[in-house]
Structure 1
Amino acid sequence: MRHLIFAICILVVCKTANAQYDPVIDTLAKAARQLRDLKSSDPHRPIFHFVNPDGYGQPFDPNGALFWNGRYHMGYIYQKERNDKWEHLWGHIASTDLLHWQIYPDMLTVVDGDAEKDGIFSGGSFLSREGIPHVSYHGWGANSNMAAYSVDPDLRKWVKSELNPLLSTPVSSDSSASPYTAWDPEIWYDNTEDCYYQISGGNPATLFKSRDLKNWIFLGDFIESDKRLNLDFEDVSCPDFFKVGDKYVLLFISHMRGAQYYIGTFANDRFTVEGHGRMNWPGGTFFAPEQLVDDTGRNIYWGWIIERKPVGQEWKYGWSGILSLPRVFSLSENNEVTIAPAEELRTLRYNHYNHQGIKLTAGTKEILTAKGKSLEITARFEKGSGTFGLKVFASPDGREQTIIKYDTKTEELIVDFKNSSIHAPVLMPDYCIKYYQPSDFVETLVSQQRVPMKLKEGEPLSLQVFIDRSVIEIFANGRKCVTQVVYPQLMDSEQIILFSETGAVDVEDIHVWHMAATNSY
């Protein structure tokens, strides 16, 4: 009898299982496994940088970042096919530690009938007068800046504002006569003035003021023409405006030259520029920065690291789109800009190596015992003269290597990627994205990213370098951060080499850690 009952139970379970079987779901599951296997086979897919979970991320601008109810939230542009065309949407991720991200439902999408019929482009985040989280965005196809809000405590559901469009490009037969363009909005509420401000990107960027988020007063150019410190052909897009100490910072990009910032004061509806700095140099790929303030008061920002894979191979492994590591923007007591990696990254360290007291003379090198392709390296170079530094992604035969060096004569930090692949010489365009280019623009290819950086008298060169399969982020003396993509092809391109080309240098202390993976495939 017990055998008969057992057989009947097995039959019931099998029939129940068959009744629940769905061939569509099974097909999707198999496709998901195949995509996961494809992505995991990519030797250049970073393991501790956030990357697009799947699909196409070109562009991959981070947007709408904010800290809310104990979580970091981030939107990001990606592309999805709908109605036989590619649309730009905002994905959504959330984290409690800046390292491990949960995929949320899309933050902003397009449905039939939307004015922004061609997609969602860049914007920012802000809290309304009532303290409700909002995101601002550019509605592509509507030529308008728009907003959405969320009353969901976990920010999973966003509703497009009933006030949309907030700002539209004036319609004119002569586009050059328009006083402004609706583009890449940055909005904030000023409680001392009880009003909203909006920066609308472009060339030039413009400033507006509103009491109700709907009716905007045009205040003129955000940066006065005689205060511009970047190049005349550079636009101001992806603007992010925030206060640090007693100063205000405008973080932005020009499409040609990438990420940079202005620093100054803001009063009486005017931004007064006091300084300018770059976060990207010809050959680099740091773009579209996005900033938030967390519960500790840190100004944390990320950027899109533009990939430079060969044309036609951008999506070879079923994904594209990389975010930089979280960086903290602050000011010293002397109001000097400081840039540092978020301290949470230390929790990813393991397998520690330490080397001390290495003395190098002209033409000498030291190969470290530590090696790998996803590492953190800190090094302090003392009493340096001539040109010296370190090599990463280096193969034992020397065919592949990426050189990070400092030239004491030219006072430059240099990333030399000419031999970063066996397909040398490796050359990259000197622009990020060709947009707003001058009429006489001529494309130039470079093999080095050269960063002006003057060391103070007696100041050592202190480098904190993160490498992650195809990404290099170099934090130098807390003042500069240099971003580079490279694509080493050899399996054994894992060596780290200290060297001096000319002169002598003492490497007082160097630490190397392997970095744990945070991405799931």
Structure 2
Amino acid sequence: MQNKDRSLRKKAYEEIKKYQEVVDSDPYRLDYHLMPPVGLMNDPNGLIHWKGEFHVFFQWMPFKTGHGAKFWGHYSSRDLIHWTWQPIALTPSEWYEQNGCYSGSAVNHEGKLNVFYTGNVKNDKGERETYQCLAVSEDGIHFEKKGVVIHLPEGYSAHFRDPKVWKHQDKWYMIIGAQTKEQLGCAVLYTSDDLMGWELKGEISSSKEHDYLGYMWECPDLFHLDDIDVFMFSPQGLGSQGIHYNNVHQSGYVIGELDYDRAVLHHGPFCELDRGFEFYAPQTTLDDEGRRILIGWMGVPDQDEEKQPTRAYKWIHNMTIPRELRVKKGKIRQSPVKELKKMRRNLFQKKDLKVNDESLHLSELDGAVMEVFLKFGDADAFNRFEIDLFDYAKVIYQNETKVLTLERKNVDNKSIESRSCQISKLETLQLFIDHSSIEVFVNEGEEVFTARIFPDKKNASIHFSASGSVTFDLWKWDLTGYTYQTSEKAMREANKNP
């Protein structure tokens, strides 16, 4: 299918050229988040630190701002700030992937980059077929497809996808998100000696163990961190429970220990990974420093995607900033990677700022691209603290209930919606603001809120207000943003004829 692959690549590159000026003219285009050059971006795929470079592949639909037969787009970086757009990694050119090269992962084996992904097929009757596939690269850029390595086993629906592969001791393991014939979400474990032949070990966990945790588990990731095993996944079909599970689909984790011999994960309760509006399908990798790095999709499937204003500019969705993970007191902590500090410019600092039953506006905080850090004094001396962001979103802390809330206008600007979490005490807030996104790190990553925001660009003001007396120290930096370039290989490929 080399001709079909070349044809698909050519059409995708033509789409980039056709709409580049339109995409670039969008005032909501971001400065320091990975975005599609055109079309729709969703799940991060194949996140890996390989031969000194970070590789971020991603689900990509270049021909529209809706879902369809996905490609794998590809960015790379040595420092998580300077990014290179690489040639398209995968196109849905083969029979076993003709309706999309769906999500997957990457590993290093014998110096080669091996990517595993789900081939999605709709047959002549409109029925879904699913295949777990392998492609191999010697340079991290060009991939040779090896075909199907796992077919759908008995007992599961065709919602069987998103393979994550890792090595433990002398064996390879793969975890796949799945749905049973009874429409219950679960995760299954395979093992292999050579990455080609795979043996099904069994279900390591399922919705039944959690007194129902959704009808499908997507994007599984299992890793060892701070002496425990973390199983991260995105369950679909959870109903809201108070301040929990308020997005259409959720992402979270359980902590425990995987019994590799018996294929059983002994674990605690499910915890949401992010409390905001747009966060889904996170994926992690281990870098050469031993850090566990996470990147998530700043979007949620089936959740107001058709209302996003960027669609008028021929693109939609983006990734989160890279985050380092740790486990503290049995809970995941997320911190912005240290490399992002290199983007800081023009420090503005104020000590012992006081807000006492009044509103405070600092002109130094006007702008659309910044990092703001607040460190609070006696957090019990006030009833309510509020940060109004551009008259569009608010961060609100209620001291009596210990509830922190991110509130915003819905993307149609007609209603107010909110997401909340409970904390023991408000100590710090760290805000990353980027034209049309916000990421709020609470108490140095104890909780995180991720969201898209689409304020009137004429209103670039931040206001603080309080009920009672609030004292805090403030640091603010302008952020220079990512540096992008297109690799010579990508430029040559874009100019080729099919």
TM bucket normalised to smaller: 0.7 to 0.9
Change (3 A) 1:37 1:206: same
Aligned equivalent of 1:199: 176
Q: Residue 132 in 1 paired to residue 112 in 2?
A: yes
One-letter amino acid of the counterpart of residue 362, structure 2: L
Q: Residue 467 in 1 paired to residue 467 in 2?
A: no
| Distance (Å, rounded) in 2 between the aligned partners of 1:270 and 1:304 | 28
Change (3 A) 1:189 1:352: same
Match of 2:91 among 102, 109, 120: 109
SS of alignment partner, residue 389 of structure 2: strand
SS of alignment partner, residue 106 of structure 1: coil
Task: For 1:303-382, list aligned pairs within 5 A.
Answer: 303-306=296-299, 308=304, 311=307, 313-332=309-328, 334-361=329-356, 363-370=357-364, 371-382=366-377
SS of alignment partner, residue 44 of structure 1: coil
SS of alignment partner, residue 342 of structure 2: helix
| Distance (Å, rounded) in 2 between the aligned partners of 1:376 and 1:240 | 29
Q: Residue 189 in 1 paired to residue 153 in 2?
A: no
| Distance (Å, rounded) in 2 between the aligned partners of 1:309 and 1:115 | 28
One-letter amino acid of the counterpart of residue 157, structure 1: H
One-letter amino acid of the counterpart of residue 136, structure 1: F
| Distance (Å, rounded) in 2 between the aligned partners of 1:65 and 1:145 | 17
CA contact 1:373–1:468 (8 Å) conserved in 2: yes
Aligned equivalent of 1:258: 250
Aligned equivalent of 2:40: 57
Aligned equivalent of 1:147: 134
Aligned equivalent of 2:277: 284
Match of 1:481 among 432, 448, 451: 448
Q: Residue 157 in 1 paired to residue 157 in 2?
A: no
If the length of structure 2 is used for normalisation, what is the TM-score?
A: 0.81
Aligned equivalent of 1:512: 476
Query: Shift of the alpha carbon at 1:138?
Result: 0.7
Query: Shift of the alpha carbon at 1:254?
Result: 2.2
- Tell me which stretches of 4 or more aligned residues in structure 1 moved more than 6 Å: 28-34
CA contact 2:430–2:442 (8 Å) conserved in 1: yes
Change (3 A) 1:133 1:191: farther
Deviation string, structure 1 residues 34-71 (Cα, Å, up to 9, x no partner): 734322321111111111122x115x111001111110
Name the structure where strand makes up a greater proportion of residues: 2
CA contact 1:80–1:86 (8 Å) conserved in 2: no
Deviation string, structure 1 residues 427-469 (Cα, Å, up to 9, x no partner): 5xxxxxxxxxxxxxxxxxxx111122232xxxx4201100111
CA contact 1:186–1:198 (8 Å) conserved in 2: yes
Aligned equivalent of 1:383: 378
CA contact 1:143–1:169 (8 Å) conserved in 2: no
Deviation string, structure 1 residues 7-60 (Cα, Å, up to 9, x no partner): xxxxxxxxxxxxxxxxxxxxx999977734322321111111111122x115x1
Which has the larger Rg?
Answer: 1
| Distance (Å, rounded) in 1 between the aligned partners of 2:389 and 2:402 | 21
Change (3 A) 1:34 1:368: farther
CA contact 1:349–1:515 (8 Å) conserved in 2: yes
CA contact 1:124–1:136 (8 Å) conserved in 2: yes
| Distance (Å, rounded) in 1 between the aligned partners of 2:484 and 2:471 | 40
| Distance (Å, rounded) in 2 between the aligned partners of 1:52 and 1:378 | 29
Query: Shift of the alpha carbon at 1:99?
Result: 1.5
Q: Residue 123 in 1 paired to residue 114 in 2?
A: no
Change (3 A) 1:167 1:212: farther
| Distance (Å, rounded) in 2 between the aligned partners of 1:196 and 1:520 | 35
Match of 2:223 among 217, 242, 245: 242
When the two chains are superposed, the root-mean-square deviation of aligned CA atoms in Å is 2.8
Deviation string, structure 1 residues 58-103 (Cα, Å, up to 9, x no partner): 5x11100111111000101111459xx9521101110011112101
Q: Residue 72 in 1 paired to residue 72 in 2?
A: no
Structure 2 unaligned spans of 5+: 1-11, 122-128, 180-184, 237-247, 486-498
Deviation string, structure 1 residues 408-435 (Cα, Å, up to 9, x no partner): 22222101113x88x74435xxxxxxxx
Change (3 A) 1:186 1:503: same
- Size of the aligned set, in residue pairs, is 440
CA contact 1:354–1:512 (8 Å) conserved in 2: yes
Query: Shift of the alpha carbon at 1:327?
Result: 0.6
Query: Shift of the alpha carbon at 1:223?
Result: 1.2
Percent identity, please: 25
Match of 1:93 among 65, 72, 75: 75
Structure 1 unaligned spans of 5+: 1-27, 171-176, 394-399, 428-446
Q: Residue 412 in 1 paired to residue 410 in 2?
A: no
| Distance (Å, rounded) in 1 between the aligned partners of 2:375 and 2:71 | 43
SS of alignment partner, residue 341 of structure 2: helix
CA contact 1:331–1:337 (8 Å) conserved in 2: yes
